[in-house]
Every structure is written in structure tokens, then in C-alpha cells.
Chains A and B, each alone.
Chain A
Amino acid sequence: MQVTIRVNGNNTTHEIEDRLLLVHYLRDVLGLTGTNIGCDTTSCGACTVHLNGESVKSCTMLAAQADGAEVTTIEGLAGSDEMHPMQRAFRENHGLQCGFCTPGMVMAAVGLLREQANPTEEQVRSGLEGNLCRCTGYHNIVQAVLAAAKEGGAR
């Protein structure tokens, strides 16, 4: 089938297999490999992208379901060469070690702030419950999100 998905502000149109997952469309068809596949079972959140502005796990969606929709990946978050406030906050607060979970974590965190602009620490922790990090112990990730909330991280 043919799909047209607006990815990071650009319309992309491709002939795809009906069973193609959104994450494979992003990584293999468009070459946007910032979105990682961790668990492939909807558990880890590494594949989190925004679908019409909301966080979703792209390993558990068909590309066909995103036909006509707007998708934002980590590559398109900043919209320019400058970092997005959330990316900056992750760097400044050492919110990553190996970096594997980071694209999904950042996308989930931005999605969280859009729904809850000034979360408490508790709300950040529960808002990120769909994202696993094997390295940081979460402490600095939570600090980063709280810092980003003060800097307009919901943008």
C-alpha cells in the first residue's frame, strides 16, 4: 500500500508492505536511525516518537496507522541546529550514560511536559514509567526533566 506520513515537517510518501511497523518505516525506509529499538515488545520506550504531538511507541504501530499523520522523531525535535531545551537539559544534568534510551526518553519527556507543564518529581517519575534506562538509575533523567520544565521544555 502507499502511505504519506509527515515526518519532522516533511511529507514522505512510500509504497510499503501492509505489515511494516512505524519504527521500521522511520529507520529503514527514511534512514532516521535516531529512534532506537530496545525491547521490541512495547516495554522499554526506546522507540518513542510523537504522533500528532503525543508520545507513542513506534514498535507497536503499523506505518499504515500513521498514514496522513504528523510524526516527530528525535531528529526533528529541535527543528534547527540548536538543541531543544530538553536535549540541553539532558546534557547539562548528565541525564544519559550510554545514550541508548535517550532519544525515546527525551521524546517521552517532551510529551509529558506538553500534558503537564510543571510536574512534581513524582509526576515526572510516573510520567516516564514507559521508558527504561539500564544505566543512569533515573536520578539525573528526572533532574533533567525538572530543569527543562523551567526552560520551556514543552515546546
Chain B
Amino acid sequence: MIPAPFAYRRAGSVDEALSLLAEHGDEAKVLAGGHSLLPLMKLRLAVPEVVVDVGRLQDLSYVRDEGDAIAVGALTRHRDLETSDLLAREAPLLSHAAGFVGDPQVRHRGTLGGSLVHGDPASDLPAVVLAMGGTLVARGPRGSREIPAADFFQSLFETAMEPDELLTEVRIPKPQSRGWGFEKFNQRAIDWATVGVAVSGDQRPAIALVNMGGTPLRATAAEQALADGGSVADAAALAADGTEPPSDLSASADYRRHLARVLVRRAVEDARGRA
């Protein structure tokens, strides 16, 4: 399988990337690690006329301590998240979950920014960033803007990004409590989650669901039950409330609801065990 013809442009700086995007508008696609975009281009589900390769922008690959938050560059690869000592210390949910994305080869190429902008509700890191209350920083011709994760994911493969913007950074507030949990249920090791759960916090945790609808979702009913002092079992029973999970080859919607209830219970128990 070969992508349809396109013109390849390599950006040497963020400014150059932005001016290439401004010049080519809707015809252009940003290429980061290429592990979502290239498979789509090979299937001709994406046929950009211009591909703007930002993969060499090393200054967008970092994990930094900024006091009350951790700043992660959009071009930081899954592998670098997985092996970051700073994340392991300050935001272990993110580094742990990054180690479950795809397989080692995928993690050597795929980036945090690509995972978020791609907007696939079956991806792990969007739910993690949502649970952690992250903020995404986008740069465009009109300057920089900050978008809370809760507003970023809009519908299936749709995010708040404009075509002429580049995601530059993800800011993760340092968790207030030590607990966290992550559960990913899949049939084969390299598969996307049939259902996944990211839990940040322990007594009143934020709970985000993978692949339970068109975007990553907060399990608000379960969160509220825990905040009101309910038992983990009672709260987990509400995990699928308000969701509209898909039915596909790996699972029916009903089975996904069942998985969400089981996985939320496990992930919250783990979070409390770590607290």
C-alpha cells in the first residue's frame, strides 16, 4: 500500500511549520510520528496534498517541571514519556499509560501531541490527559491559546485544533493526591483498548473512559458517588451511565458497559491502594 502523491515539506522550526500551514491551509497535514496519519494515508482515507513534517522539532520534545505543573512538549514520543523519571515521580499515570500504547516500535515513533490531535476515542493518552485535568497549548497565526482537555475532544476524530495550528505543549497539573489507576482491556497486546480506564486521585478521583463513546469521557456518575462517600463497588456500578459505547468486531455496546463497570472498580481500588 502506497500513499497517494503529496508534496513533503520538512519544518525546521515552529515558525516555519506555521507558515507552511498558513500557506497550504486545508490541503496540508502535520506529520509528527506518522503512526496514525501514515496508516490512514496508505489506506487513502487521508489524501493531503502537502505533508508538513514537524518530526525534527526537537525543541518540542521535553518533559519539564514547572512548579505546580509538568509541561510536556507535543513532540515527546511515547517512549520518552514511558522512561521519564520526572513523570514517574510527578505524574506516574501518564508514564505508565504511555508504556501500554501499541508496541515498542510504535512507541519509538508516536508522539503525545499526535495521539491527542488525532482524536481517536480508542486511544489511551487522551483519556489520561482528560483525567489529569491537562491543558493543551496550540500555536497558530493568531498566537498561542490554551485549551482545557475537557473542551479539546469534540467528537469522533474531531478536536478543537484549527488546520493552521500546531499543538506545542501539554500542561499537566501535579496531582494533589498520590493515587492513580489505569486499566486497559484488549484482545491482543498491541491492540487499542476495547475499553480503558484512567483514574487520577484516590478518595475523590477523576475517572476517564477510553472507547466508551465518540470522545474520551469522564465517568461523572461514578465520580460523584465516590465524592459523596459511596463504596467503590456502588460507584463502579454507575461507570457506564450516560455513555453511548460503540458496537464493533471486538465488543458489543453492552459488553463495553460491563467492562467499564469492572475496570472502573479495579482502577479505583488500585488508586486507593497506591494512596
- Chain B contacts for A108, CB-based, 8 A: 104-105
Q: Least Cβ distance of B265 to chain A in Å? A: 25
Question: Does A21 touch B at the CB level, under 8 Å?
Answer: yes
Q: List 27 A-B residue pairs with CB atoms under 8 Å apart, sorted by A's residue number.
A: A1-B8, A18-B6, A19-B4, A40-B1, A40-B42, A41-B39, A41-B42, A43-B190, A45-B105, A54-B108, A56-B109, A57-B109, A60-B34, A62-B8, A62-B34, A64-B8, A64-B53, A65-B31, A65-B55, A108-B105, A112-B104, A129-B189, A130-B102, A130-B103, A130-B105, A130-B190, A131-B103
From known contacts A62-B34, A64-B53, infer whether A42 and B3 are also in contact, taking CB-CB under 8 Å. no
Question: Please, which residue of chain A has its CB at the minimum distance from the CB of B43?
Answer: A41
A18→B104 contact, CB < 8 A: no
B235-268 contacts to A, CB under 8 A, are none
A56→B55 contact, CB < 8 A: no
How many residues on A have C-beta within 8 angstroms of the other chain's C-beta atoms? 32
Contact of B109 among A18, A60, A115 (CB under 8 A): A60
A18→B108 contact, CB < 8 A: no
**Complex: A75 Cα to B79 Cα, angstroms:** 26
- Chain B contacts for A45, CB-based, 8 A: 103, 105
Chain B 124-161 interface 0/1 with A at a Cβ cutoff of 8 Å (1 = within): 00000000000000000000000000000000000000
A56→B105 contact, CB < 8 A: yes
9 additional contacts (CB under 8 A) given A19-B4, A129-B104:
A18-B7, A21-B2, A55-B108, A56-B109, A62-B38, A62-B53, A64-B53, A65-B55, A126-B189
- Highest count of chain B CB atoms <10 Å: which of A41, A51, A108, A130: A130
Q: Least Cβ distance of B182 to chain A in Å? A: 15
A127→B104 contact, CB < 8 A: yes
Q: Is the interface of A mostly helix, strand, loop or mixed?
A: mixed
Q: Least Cβ distance of B262 to chain A in Å? A: 23
B105→A48 contact, CB < 8 A: yes
A55→B104 contact, CB < 8 A: yes
**Complex: A86 Cα to B35 Cα, angstroms:** 28
**Complex: A115 Cα to B2 Cα, angstroms:** 32
B17-53 contacts to A, CB under 8 A, are 31, 34-35, 38-39, 42, 51, 53
B39→A111 contact, CB < 8 A: no
- Chain A contacts for B53, CB-based, 8 A: 62, 64-65
Contact of B39 among A42, A64, A65 (CB under 8 A): A42
Question: Does A121 touch B at the CB level, under 8 Å?
Answer: no
A60→B7 contact, CB < 8 A: no
- Chain A contacts for B105, CB-based, 8 A: 45, 48, 55-57, 108, 130
- Chain B contacts for A60, CB-based, 8 A: 34-35, 38-39, 109
- Chain B contacts for A127, CB-based, 8 A: 104
